[in-house]
Amino acid sequence: AIEMVESGGGSVQPGGSLRLSCVISGKTLSRYCMAWFRQAPGKEREGVAAISSDGSTDYADSVKGRFTISRDNAKNSLYLQMNNLKPEDIATYSCAAGILYDCFVDTSPYGFNYWGQGTQVTVSS
């Protein structure tokens, strides 16, 4: 069975940083589009960042210049470096993977086959 496990969430002050990790087991996902989604209480899930199998990246406007998505295919892992965190970044963050022709941040979440369970990010002074 394929398992995707996120880690690295937590609570930071505004302006702080966190690095989320997603480790995949059970399948090699080097050819998959991978992405980070987030969902805040009372809001719809939204794409935060996406990275294609060839390393092309795409970001939501709200996180451009602050977040960086990366992948290490040798370690079957996905990362999200989050800098200058703001209260509006508070959400549960989930990693996702799918075989997709279009690998963009606004790709529908329904196109992703595999999901992690999520990790909570809180930004508060």
Q: What is the DSSP string of 9-23?
A: -EEE-TT--EEEEEE
Cα torsion 108, 119, 48, 5: sign: negative
6-63 pLDDT, tens digit each: 999 999 999 999 999 999 999 888 899 999 999 999 999 999 999 999 999 999 999 9
pLDDT > 70: what percent of the chain? 100
Residue 33: both structure tokens together: 């589009």
Under 8 Å between Cβ of 59 and 70: no
pLDDT, position 1? 83
Rounded to 5 degrees, what are φ and ψ at 88?
A: -70, -5
Specify the pairing of strand 10-12 against strand 119-123.
parallel
